[in-house]
Amino acid sequence: MDPTTPQTACFEAGIKFGSLYHQFAGTPVSPDSADSLARAMEEAIENQPHCESVTVTVREDALREAIAESGADYTELTGRFIEVSMTVDYEGVVVETSMAMDEGYPLMQVDDVAAE
Of 30 and 85, the one with the shorter C-beta distance to its own copies is: 30
Q: Which is nearer to its own copies, 11 or 91 (CB)?
A: 11
DSSP 74: -
Among 46, 65, 83, 89, binds its own copies (CB under 8 A): 46
Q: Is there binding between residue 6 and its own copies (CB under 8 A)?
A: yes
Contact set for its own copies, span 25-44 (CB under 8 A): 25-30, 32-33, 36-37, 39-44
Minimum CB separation from its own copies for residue 98, in Å? 12
Of 92, 107, 86, 98, the closest CA to residue 43 belongs to 86
- Separation CA 65–CA 68 (nearest Å): 5
CA pair distance 57, 54, nearest whole angstrom: 10
